[in-house]
Amino acid sequence: MLLDRIEKLNPRLNTYITVSRELAIRSAERAEKELCGRRRQKSRRDRGPLHGIPISLKDNIYTKDLRTTGGSLILKDFVPLQDAPAVAALKNSGAVILGKTNMHEFAYGVTTENAHFGATRNPWDRERIAGGSSGGSAAAVSAGLCYGSIGTDTGGSIRIPASLCGVVGFKPGLGRVSPEDVIALSPTLDSVGPLARSVEDAALLLEPILIRGKNEKRRLLSKELSARTRRPKLGIPKEFFFDLLDPEVEATFRGAVRRMEKRGARLKEVSLPELQSTEEVGNQIAWAEATAYHQQAGWFPAHADQYSEDVYKRLELGTKVTAIAYLEARAFCEKFKQQVFELFAANDLDALVVPATPMAATPLGQTSVEIRGTPYPTRAMLLRLNRPANLAGVPAVSVPCNLSKAGLPIGLQFIAEWNCEGRLLEIARLFELEFPWTARPPLTGFA
């Protein structure tokens, strides 16, 4: 039983802030009654593939009658009066909510070393970070403490922990999943999406929450791969993504790409020079919008003593962003979106393929990482390869690729055009089928 497993392993990993044991049991019993009723009885109801499936939710997503802390001291007793639309859709699909997962405070960090609720530990090595800010979600999925989770991603907060914990993390395109009743970090960049142990499971979690156009299919993944998907055309950017990589991550990526090409993928080197500006532009937007959100909520600076030091310092940075700098960053964002669109169109690409993170999980408390003999801030390195997809507003997915020599997961990232979540999932599934991920974290009793 998952609840018993959580009770046993969560103290070792700290993946959950709140476990809704009684609510989960009631929901599971209701699902069982609906699914097991006689065919002719009106009480029988099959809500679909998520019916009765236990999942978790990042603790910045509103849940009715279940506290939503945002990983913060300020909201430690906040109980929403309504579910976020994404949660309502999942419940309507029959999903069973096990609880709310740990996260970096207010989603404003990439390690999930939470000063108020404790650090989430990586299931592959408990002395290392799980990544963030959706670290609790990724670690819970990886350790088998839920069958899937919903997180948020502003600069990689789904894909970073997915890469470091060896699970699938999918960031939909901007606006494709409702951000309503989700504690915001940067509305221009925020996305809501699934983490799961397989691409198919991620697709099943995404289906009920995805906002579709009139002509979009209900199923994101077909049973059979299309001819185009079997031989996808993948772009590899010349710039940026390979400037600062741990040698082992680069070797793993190059090896995976060679194997994909042998299996039929068509590879093309492409150019997107503006990538070099994405780090600074992303900072200007996120700093300003996060601080504005916290000021409007009445939290900052009024409750300065209730913030952790790292989050408070970032909110202070937001006060120093000028209106001109913010507007220039937003203008760059729109220009970058157009450039990405033109890149895909001009080269007839199905996706870009790049590393998910420059390195594997780092030790807890380590604020810098050495790459080729030079130290760099851990936070900046983890955000570096993920933020471009947020600025472009396009879908991206991290899939497990291999293990490092130290036994830590290394992720591969695919990035598609806006509105192409289905195609991106197909490409990710193709990779998963060709290179199945069977590794499991070294925890006793993992199933």
Q: How far apart are CA 246 and CA 251, in angstroms?
A: 9
What are the CA-CA distances from residue 167 to residues 43, 106, 157, 264, 362 (Å)?
A: 36, 23, 13, 25, 17
C-beta pairs of 114-118 under 8 Å, 24+ apart in sequence = 114/71, 114/308, 115/308, 115/309, 115/310, 116/71, 116/72, 116/73, 116/76, 116/308, 117/14, 117/17, 117/69, 117/71, 118/14
Give the separation between CA 388 and CA 385, rounded to whole angstroms.
7
Q: In the structure encoding, which two tokens stand for residue 120, read together?
A: 């989430």
Please answer whether residues 45 and 33 qualify as being in contact, where contact means their C-beta atoms are separated by less than 8 angstroms. no
Active site annotation includes 335: no
Cα–Cα nearest to 48, from 220, 289, 193: 220
Say which amino acid occupies 250. Answer: E
Q: Judge contact between 131 and 112, C-beta under 8 A.
A: yes
Find out whether the peptide bond into 301 is cis, omega within 30 degrees of 0: yes
Residue tagged active-site, from 20, 56, 133, 186: 133
Please pick, among 149, 157, 198, 308, the residue that the annotation labels catalytic.
Answer: 157
- Contact, 234 vs 268, CB < 8 A? yes
Task: State yes or no: is 33 an active-site residue.
Answer: no
Which among 20, 58, 198, 308 is annotated as catalytic?
Answer: 58
Confirm whether 277 is a catalytic residue. Answer: no
Q: Which residues are catalytic?
A: 58, 133, 157
